């Protein structure tokens, strides 16, 4: 049983106590205390919902991870992301990355890594792998390099907010080939 069900059960239990007949002179006062408790439980339930309404995800580990090979930067954290239906995942992109969020049904085993190249999919995945969101390509990279843009920004340090209207399990990867090989993928559970 999840925390929401426990809390809902608690509310009904307390409400039942509050409605039970009392002969005590303090009935009104007791009802007020019980109502205060119910209000606090409801606030707690509301907080649980809010936690998953807008979720922050690190797409790349940050600006202090530069090193040869830079494998420490090739992660999506957390690996399993949970968000409410109609919620938003805010990908904080740090470095040279490209987000691809696949539609529900696409699984990790379907991703084919080409023998060479900077990106897995150029310019985008085939129709057999439907995409929920195709992200922005970061400026720079090997010559001739990707030109900078301002709207939307393709700065190596940016936020890409992605909405999830429908429930399901969504695979998200970095389209940069060596990053994916280093394990730069995660799952988004929308419920
Ligand atoms: Cu990457």
Centroid of ligand 1 to alpha carbon of 47 (angstroms): 32
Q: Under CATH, which architecture does the 54-190 domain have? A: Sandwich (2.60)
Centroid of ligand 1 to alpha carbon of 34 (angstroms): 52
Centroid of ligand 1 to alpha carbon of 138 (angstroms): 10
Please state the pTM of the whole predicted model: 0.77
| Average pLDDT over all residues of the chain | 86
Centroid of ligand 1 to alpha carbon of 94 (angstroms): 9
Centroid of ligand 1 to alpha carbon of 178 (angstroms): 8
DSSP letter string, 140-173: B-STT-BPP-BTTB--SEEEEEEEE-S-EEEEEE
Q: Is 168 left (phi over 0), alpha (psi -120 to 50) or beta?
A: left
Distance of alpha carbon 103 from alpha carbon 130, whole angstroms: 6
Residues 6+ positions from 15 with CB-CB distance below 8 Å: 34, 38
Taking only the tens place, the pLDDT of each residue in 132-167 is: 999 999 999 999 999 999 999 999 999 999 999 999
Centroid of ligand 1 to alpha carbon of 52 (angstroms): 24
Domain ranges for the chain? 3-51, 54-190
Mean pLDDT, range 164-187, rounded to an integer: 97
pLDDT band at 18 (very low <50, low <70, confident <90, very high): very low
Taking only the tens place, the pLDDT of each residue in 104-119 is: 999 999 999 999 999 9
Element (H, E) at 86: none
- Quick one: 178 exposed, middle or buried, by C-beta within 10 A (0-12, 13-18, 19+)? middle
Taking only the tens place, the pLDDT of each residue in 120-130 is: 999 999 999 99
Centroid of ligand 1 to alpha carbon of 139 (angstroms): 13
Mean pLDDT, range 75-100, rounded to an integer: 96
Q: Are 52 and 83 in contact (CB under 8 A)?
A: yes
**pLDDT at residue 70, as a whole number:** 83
């Amino acid at each position: 049983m999840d925390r929401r069900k426990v809390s809902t059960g608690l509310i009904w239990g307390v409400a039942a106590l509050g409605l039970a007949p009392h002969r005590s002179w303090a009935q009104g006062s007791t009802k007020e205390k019980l109502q205060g408790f119910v209000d606090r439980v409801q606030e707690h339930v509301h907080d649980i919902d809010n936690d998953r309404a807008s979720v922050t995800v690190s797409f790349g580990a940050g600006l202090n991870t530069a090193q040869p090979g830079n494998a420490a930067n090739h992660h999506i954290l957390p690996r399993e992301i949970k968000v409410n239906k109609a919620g938003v995942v805010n990908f904080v992109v740090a470095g040279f990355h490209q987000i691809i969020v696949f539609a529900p049904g696409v699984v990790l085993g379907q991703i084919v890594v080409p023998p060479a190249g900077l990106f897995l999919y150029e310019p985008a995945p085939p129709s057999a792998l439907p995409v929920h969101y195709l992200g922005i390509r970061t400026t720079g990279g090997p010559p001739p390099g990707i030109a900078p843009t301002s709207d939307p920004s393709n700065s190596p340090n940016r936020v890409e907010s992605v909405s999830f209207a429908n429930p399901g399990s969504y695979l998200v990867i970095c389209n940069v080939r060596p990053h994916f090989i280093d394990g730069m993928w995660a799952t988004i559970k929308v419920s």
